[in-house]
Structure 1
Amino acid sequence: MGAYIEVSAEVRYWEDATVNGIEDSDGKLIPLRKGELWAPVIRLSDGVLMDWPDGFEADVHYKVCDQGEYWLLDEALRRVAKWASHYVPDEFLCHGDNGYGDYIIFRVGADGKIANWRTPGIDPAEWTPLTP
């Protein structure tokens, strides 16, 4: 059903992340920020953040609650389904801790891969298909 997940998360507290060991107090250090949103695209097969800059490491613990949107993308990076809940999809965006539907939690290595990545199963009941 999907090869990637696209994230568009309104982060409440940017300082809840470190980038290359430095607290990102105002969100200016974290790669893939677009305005007030954090917007990574993650390849589901291996947990790699697309377009992550080489050599950057990050420890992310972002509180999002119901301020995010999430899409499954096909191999051509076209949106094919939207997350049907207003909470964070934990099985996709929480690795190494429990986010309780409110947090994006994971570590990104210098290679752009999420530590402890587990390829999530995709339950079609949790996603609303998009019409082409």
Structure 2
Amino acid sequence: MTPIYIEVDAQVRYWDDATINGSSDDNGTLTPLKRGDCWCPVIRLADGVVMDWPTGVVADIHFKVCDEGEYWLLDESKQRIAKWAGYYVPDEFLCPGTNGYGDYIILTINEDGQIQKWKAPVVEYACECADEDESQSRWHKLDTTGGAE
């Protein structure tokens, strides 16, 4: 299956590290796609468009996640097909044009939901032959029951 989207479920430590339409978001009430204490966008990999982004909202996201996120690749039907194996943020996907050092999600999103400086990321799957360190920075394919293959 070809990955089309990345789904993010990241527990945010400091909502006020985001600027939404020019205002600091002190408690996350301004941030689109917030669910409880988590930020949960789905991003199209080919062009970096955040799905269901409200038209007219501009965001400068700089969220500290620190091992409190889960990330999945989705197919064209938005079914989960792979899960990020590591504890860290997949920088290549969620920090275009900068380095989040595995602890941050850093995105600038325009009024149309387009992430600035986006480049379609390369998806690298782990294989059973990979050592544990290498496996942590790869995607693990899911089987039909939702477990790792």
Given the two structures, how large is their TM-score scaled by the length of structure 2?
A: 0.87
Counterpart-to-counterpart distance in 2, 1:127 and 1:94: 17
Give the unaligned 5+ runs of structure 1.
none
Please give the secondary structure, in 1, of the residue aligned with 2:32.
coil
**Which piece of structure 1 moves more, 9-18 or 121-130?**
121-130
Give the unaligned 5+ runs of structure 2.
127-137, 145-149
Counterpart-to-counterpart distance in 2, 1:88 and 1:39: 13
Q: Deviations over 1:15-54 (max 9, x none)?
A: 0000000000110000000111100000000000000000
**Match in the other structure for 1:127:** 139
Structure 1 residue 89, shift from structure 2 partner: 0.1
Please give the secondary structure, in 2, of the residue aligned with 1:29.
coil
Amino acid at match of 1:131: D
**Match in the other structure for 1:71:** 72
Structure with a larger share of its residues in strand: 1
Please give the secondary structure, in 2, of the residue aligned with 1:48.
coil
**Match in the other structure for 1:22:** 23
* Runs of 4+ off more than 3 Å: none
Amino acid at match of 1:81: A
Greater RCO structure (CA 8 Å; 6+ sep) = 1
- Aligned residues, how many? 132
